């Protein structure tokens, strides 16, 4: 039977929703146990949140001053040490955090990593997207080694709450490297929902023409209680900061509602939104690729349609 270790992603004492999505993937493996590992200077708050996720067997909390910031070089040796305690699988979300730390864990354990798991076919058999999502490949990992993988969280719903797993303090006698140090974290401040976990997202593309024109995107998003995103073309043009970028080289998201305004629908962008529940496209080009996957489409001038839509809500 599988025994799975899920690495919790958290920031400022709050657990990221991607952790609950990882638990859903882990449960698909019909595991004997699904444990969550929380590494922090003070893991109490995120550990308590993790304990409430349905399907979690127990939460392992490691409190070390070095874990105050999510430095991959510092966390990886600790994760690898815990993984050696009888775990068959070690999973983390395929977010910036998971993509940073898990390759190091795999290297320390001497195994290859399975990235972007989108479907579980068996204990060591998975499906994952390749070629910017144009194809899905089935991969099989050796069953006699620890499997290290990242989970494409857009492919999984978050596990429900209501759990009551025990939280165990874990002391690790593991030396961590000192060559990497935290300097600062520069992040955007916004009252809007987090783009990666929002249930509604409104994104703008290069057709908006300027950063100032994005005010109609913000207005619609505020009416919908939605997060704001952007295409790579809009980010490259300097209209909005890079942390709003949606797509293969940005954030992979799966909101219940996705509104694409002035976005043509390049394959790299579609890769990031293909798991959205309902897709609405607004574009003046009726032949734009975005309409091929949109559930609803409006063909016309976005500078006329978007304000009208905002006023109608």
Domain ranges of the chain: 3-169, 200-312
Distance, first Cα to last Cα, the chain: 51
Please, which residues have CB within 8 angstroms of residue 40's CB and are 6 or more apart in sequence? Answer: 10, 13, 46, 61, 62, 63, 67, 68
pLDDT one-digit tens code per residue, 5-18: 999 999 889 999 89
Query: If you average pLDDT over residues 30-34, what whole number do you get?
Result: 90
Would you call 3 helix, strand, or coil by DSSP?
A: strand
Kindly give the residue spans of alpha helices, DSSP state H, lying in 7-111.
17-27, 44-51, 72-83, 96-109
The answer to pTM > 0.85 is no
Q: Is the pLDDT of residue 188 over 80?
A: no
Are 3-169 and 200-312 equal in CATH topology? Answer: yes
Q: What whole-number distance in Å separates Cα of residue 87 and Cα of residue 30?
A: 14
At the top level of CATH, the class of 3-169 is alpha beta
At the top level of CATH, the class of 200-312 is alpha beta
pLDDT one-digit tens code per residue, 282-311: 999 999 999 999 999 999 999 999 999 999
């Amino acid at each position: 039977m599988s025994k799975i270790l899920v690495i919790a992603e958290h920031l400022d004492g709050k657990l990221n929703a991607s952790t609950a999505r990882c638990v859903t993937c882990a449960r698909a493996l019909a595991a004997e146990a699904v444990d969550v590992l929380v590494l922090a200077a003070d893991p109490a708050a995120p550990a308590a949140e993790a304990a409430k996720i349905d399907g979690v067997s127990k939460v392992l909390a490691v409190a070390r001053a070095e874990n105050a910031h999510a430095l991959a070089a510092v966390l990886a040796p600790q994760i690898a040490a815990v993984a050696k305690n009888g775990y068959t699988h070690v999973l983390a979300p395929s977010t910036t955090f998971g993509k940073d730390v898990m390759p190091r864990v795999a290297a320390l354990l001497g195994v290859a990593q399975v990235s972007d798991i989108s479907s579980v076919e068996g204990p060591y058999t998975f499906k994952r997207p390749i070629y910017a999502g144009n194809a899905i490949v089935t991969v099989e990992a050796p069953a006699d080694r620890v499997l290290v993988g990242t989970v494409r969280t857009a492919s999984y719903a978050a596990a429900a709450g209501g759990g009551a797993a025990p939280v165990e303090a874990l002391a690790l006698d593991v030396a961590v490297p000192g060559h990497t140090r935290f300097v600062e974290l520069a992040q955007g401040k916004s009252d809007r929902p987090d783009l990666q976990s929002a249930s509604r997202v409104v994104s703008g593309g290069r057709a908006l023409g300027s950063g100032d024109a994005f005010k109609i995107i913000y207005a619609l998003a505020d009416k919908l209680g939605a997060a704001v995103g952007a295409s790579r073309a809009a980010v490259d043009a300097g209209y909005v900061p890079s942390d709003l970028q949606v797509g293969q080289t940005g954030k992979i998201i799966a909101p219940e509602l996705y509104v694409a305004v002035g976005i043509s629908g390049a394959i790299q962008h579609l890769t990031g939104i293909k798991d959205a529940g309902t897709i609405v496209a607004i574009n003046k080009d009726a032949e734009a690729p975005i309409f091929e996957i949109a559930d609803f489409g409006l063909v016309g001038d976005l500078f006329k349609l978007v304000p009208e839509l905002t006023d109608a809500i």
